Amino acid sequence: MPRSRPQKVVIVFDDGSKTEASFETLPSQLQLELLRQPFASQPSKTPEQEKYVILEWDDGWREVIQVDAACAEINRYYVISRPEDVGRLSLNKEDGYPELIEIVRKPLDLKRITFLDTFQLSLERSDREGKKMDHFFTLSKEGDAIHEEMEAFRKALAEEGYDLQELQSQDPAQLKEVYEKIRRKMGIKAAQRQQDVLDFIAYLTKAAD
């Protein structure tokens, strides 16, 4: 199902007055910080049916982001320098409008992207236009990050002393603290919403056998 998107932010003052603003009009960094907050999202009812992107950097840092279920494949990854570096991952969607993921953490040092398949990144070319430079990357299919995350998940379960079948029998909405412990043990983080990485742990729980 399509991923729900915030529409507006409402602030209520102690005198009863209130003000509101369209979420899309807020600065992008503020949008990101709001989406990271636990109150801003609810657990997916069907985490095993969601789609996820796993990002991995040269220094081993890993992030996960949940994307719209209509996303079908990676279009391209590129970085714009002007002067700060901002990465953009474009995903093709079945409705014709690509989903664009903005990557602000060391975008030139991104090593692998996993969406359905795992792709190794390598710089193809850099084009300068005035003070702006665009860096375009090739994506070569290599490895299996989902398998690696599943192995890390199983290891975390064992180290934390959790029983897989017991977790699978419970409602994911009631396992937030458990998923957070597993996430920390795995060393994977949320790219945007904290709920994304918790839903990913729920997905691994459902997919494990």
Two tokens at 59?
A: 């220094």
Beta bridge partners of 126: 135
Residues 6+ apart with CB under 8 A from 182: 153, 156, 157, 160, 162, 201
Q: What is the pLDDT of residue 209?
A: 79
Two tokens at 16?
A: 């009863």
Q: How does the average pLDDT of the chain come out, rounded?
A: 89
Average pLDDT over residues 71-92: 93
| Res. 25: pLDDT tops 90 | no
**162 and 102 within one domain:** no
Which of 141, 159, 194 terminates a domain? The answer is 141
Average pLDDT over residues 146-167: 95
Report the percentage of the chain scoring pLDDT > 90.
Answer: 63
Average pLDDT over residues 104-117: 95
Average pLDDT over residues 186-197: 91
Give the residue numbers spanning the domain of 198.
145-207
For 52-64, write each residue's pLDDT tens digit. 999 999 999 999 9
Report the percentage of the chain scoring pLDDT > 70.
Answer: 93
Angle at 125 between CA 122 and CA 128, to 5 degrees: 140
Domain assignment of residue 3, yes or no:
no
- Count the domains in the chain: 3
Q: What is the pLDDT of residue 153?
A: 96
Which of 85, 117, 141 terminates a domain? The answer is 141
Domain assignment of residue 2, yes or no:
no
Residues 6+ apart with CB under 8 A from 46: none
Residue that the structure tokens 């719209």 belong to: 68
Whether pTM exceeds 0.85: no
Higher pLDDT among residues 209 and 61, named by residue: 61
**121 and 157 within one domain:** no
